Chains A and B, each alone.
Chain A
Amino acid sequence: MSTTLTVEHLTIGLPEGADRPFAVEDVSLAIEKGEILCVVGESGSGKSMTANALMGLLPPGVTVKAGRAMFEGRDVLRLPEAEKQALRGASTAMIFQEPMTALNPLMRIGEQISEVFAAHDRFTQAERRARSLDLIREVGLPDPEKIIRAYPFQLSGGQRQRAMIAMALALEPKLLIADEPTTALDVTTQAQILKLILDLREKHGMAVMFITHDFGVVAEIADQVIVMREGKVVERGKAVDVLENPQHDYTRRLLDAIPTGKLPKARVLSEVPALEIKNLRKVFRTGGGLFKPVREVRAVDDVSLTVASGEVLGLVGESGSGKSTLGRTAVRLVTPDGGQVLVGGTDLAALSEEELRRQRNKVQMVFQDPYASLNPRQRIMRALTDGPITRGVPKAQAQAKARELLEIVGLGADAAQRYPHEFSGGQRQRIGIARALAMEPDLIIADEAVSALDVSIQAQVLDLLRELREKLSLSILFITHDLRVAAQLCDRIAVMQKGKLVEIGTVHEIFLAPKQEYTRQLLAAVPGADWDQVQVEPA
């Protein structure tokens, strides 16, 4: 086998004033023809910078300081811009994380693929069209004749990513760089895209550099693995070796942080319900005008479930399954069209605006985006005391409570005087949890509360939630798209699909003996997990 790409001692300098002098420091790697190299690391590890340097897409101010990257006998880092441009698309290609923003929203899919040929002056108009059709067929998009005329917004996330891959494959590149191509996708779609990449690798024999933060994905597709941390390679080797016998401490920690393969032992649940949802319905109506019919989306369609006091119920589903709407309806950020939300005997869905404000504290929410969920212009203390003070708690008492809560979530009381931008994502999520706790709620709804975090941070926040569950006997409705995460924290799991509740049962029932086909599909799609060999922690 011949080597497609060799990178030697690559060092990329960051502009002055960045948190470290080099984005990437002394990185060497080699990819053989037909091989998939996974570059793994958490955010800020320099994995994307490495890829961007190879494609000549470094942001302004960031420069290659040393090292070389030999591709087809030339150093791609030192090529003049015109030659780099000729190389891009033809011999090297890249697919990005966010397929919506990576495609031009105003161009039809077919035109975007043809443009790759046009940019490199290949083929006639008719041939370009024929080849675009072939590519669309090859990446498994349905109804190619129709897709070629579709705009990106008319495709689903997975279909867009397939279109991106079609563009990347257009000129049969020898090297494909994939920067977190499946991170923004649902598990089932992710599994399909991974399979597609494996198939194409097989067929075209191209080398793939696959950047990811997810060891589950690594287990699915990697031949070789490089683990990066703060710009340096900490471990490299064959995928099997790294996964099964990690040498470096950091790799081991990352692997441990992945919630997979193990189920915690079941707990005894209380009989008292903290939350009862009965026949909840929410329909979103969009569009509609003089000549257009109203489009109806049944986001939550006749769902009933209960969360027992002290229980963590996981609500799992793909995007668009209505799980977030259900959560937002339960706290009445969204008013339902029908049904009841009973918290401690009060129906939140039926309260008047005024009455609701007084009862708000009963259910609190921890939000997904740690950067959007805190007001950037307010000190943490304000965020934690505004609610209690509105409820009539004396100011001094609310502040003392806030400091105590910050201690509990592991931040320290002096965090109170600071502004949100001084904290990292994981720390902000802790603040979000403290804010929810400050209201002394009966129930906390965590909407994808750990999805935006790196695995190791995710593990820490999950630990915190588990600890709080024990200490304060919290009831939590834990909404997530990630079954592995749900398995770690939840007592029971509810699976939603298209607004309906598909299945609900204890973690063990769902994972070991799923009753519904859809649940089985979800489980099978989880990357790197072999639920057949699932271990149950000994009691």
Chain B
Amino acid sequence: MWKRFRSNIGAMIGVALLATVIVIALIAPLLYPGGPWQMVQRPFLAPFSVDGLPLGTDTLGRNVAAQLAYGARVSLLVGLVSTLVALLIGVPLGALAGFYGGYVDEGAMRFTEFFQTIPNFALAIVLVAIFEPTLASITLAIAIVSWPPVARLVRAEVMSVRTREFVDAARLAGLSKPRILIQQVLPNTVSPIIVMASLMVATAILLESSLSFLGLGDPNAMSWGYMIGAARTVIRTSWWLSFFPGIAIVITVLALNLIGEGLNDAFNPHLSRKGKA
């Protein structure tokens, strides 16, 4: 499996890009000990016009490069944590619905549909507006709007694995139902969940950026979306203020998508679009 993943050039590019973003996020405090909010020069300095400020300064004279590096921390953190929370809600719910069927399934799926019928972004805005816009509440809001597809996927996978003969064999061995679900069925649904999770991180980053763009971000955290939102008014005179965070979002999301696709091809070699004549 790992071998197939490594031979996928796109996926390896994705890994390299993501690794770069992660490293930058990790060493941001070392690179820019002053933090992203510190004013370092005149405002509106174009890229490469002053030594030491390769990406220029923003409306208040803050270092755009430092803002990008700190923004990576926020984006990745929100992306990962919200995906984890979404999995924590979606996987158990979907697994129970798929495994027990009947009323459990009906109940769980109606509950899921309730969330699915409300547009994601609108719900996220409402949730953040109700809570204080902090990193935690934004993360939670993103998780709450993104778990339904997880639940549906896990339900479908569990339903198909449940009918395999080894599950019957486990029943005959006298294993209890919860144990069969956890030990026999769920491990066999892991691969599509991993693929989906990697793509969800990308979506979460986009959602967070969109929220920040609208000014619903955590005012104490520098994020890419906030940068673009703040630069919106000066987009005609200072293109670099929205361009670089935009590129950062594109690269990170692209990297995650490449990795997700690579994982998908590696887990399901038969469905891979490669190798077909």
Contact = CB atoms under 8 A, between A and B. Distances in A.
Interface of A: 60-61, 331, 333, 357-358, 360-361, 363-365, 367-369, 372-378, 383, 386-387, 390-391, 432, 435, 439
A362 to B, nearest CB: 10
A361 B188 contact: no
Contact of B169 (A60, A365, A376, A390): A365
B173 interface: yes
10 contacts: A357-B174, A360-B172, A365-B172, A367-B165, A368-B165, A372-B164, A373-B169, A377-B187, A383-B166, A383-B169
Nearest to B169: A373
Contacts of B184: 375, 378
Contact of A364 (B172, B187, B275, B277): B172
Contacts of A369: 165
Contacts of B170: 375, 386
B167 to A, nearest CB: 8
Interface residues of B, number: 19
A61 B174 CA distance: 46
Contacts of A60: 275-277
Contacts of B275: 60-61
B168 A391 contact: no
Contacts of A374: 166, 169
Contacts of B233: none
A220 B22 CA distance: 69
Contacts, number: 68
A365 B170 CA distance: 11
B6 interface: no
A376 B189 CA distance: 11
Contacts of A373: 164-166, 168-169
A120 to B, nearest CB: 24
A357 B176 contact: yes
B175 interface: yes
A391 B174 contact: yes
Given A367-B169, A373-B168, A387-B174, 9 more contacts: A333-B168, A360-B172, A361-B174, A363-B172, A372-B165, A375-B184, A386-B173, A386-B175, A390-B175
Q: Choose among B172, B187, B188 the residue with the greatest number of A CB atoms under 10 Å from its CB.
A: B172
B232 interface: no
B42 interface: no
Contacts of B166: 372-375, 383
A387 B277 contact: no
A434 to B, nearest CB: 12
Nearest to A438: B173
Interface string B128-172: 000000000000000000000000000000000000111011111
A304 B30 CA distance: 80
A372 B164 CA distance: 6
Contacts of B175: 357, 386-387, 390
Contacts of B172: 331, 333, 360, 363-365, 387, 439
A377 B164 CA distance: 13
Interface string B182-195: 01100110000000
Contacts of B174: 357-358, 360-361, 387, 390-391, 439
A373 B187 CA distance: 15
A502 B168 CA distance: 29
B178 to A, nearest CB: 12
A373 B165 CA distance: 4
Contact of A365 (B168, B183, B187): B168
A435 B169 contact: yes
Nearest to A333: B168
Nearest to B184: A375
Contacts of A375: 166, 170, 184, 187-188
Interface in B253-277: 275-277
Given A367-B168, A372-B166, A377 B188 contact: yes
Contacts of B183: 386
The 7 closest A-B pairs by CB, nearest first: A387-B173, A360-B174, A60-B277, A373-B165, A367-B165, A375-B166, A372-B165
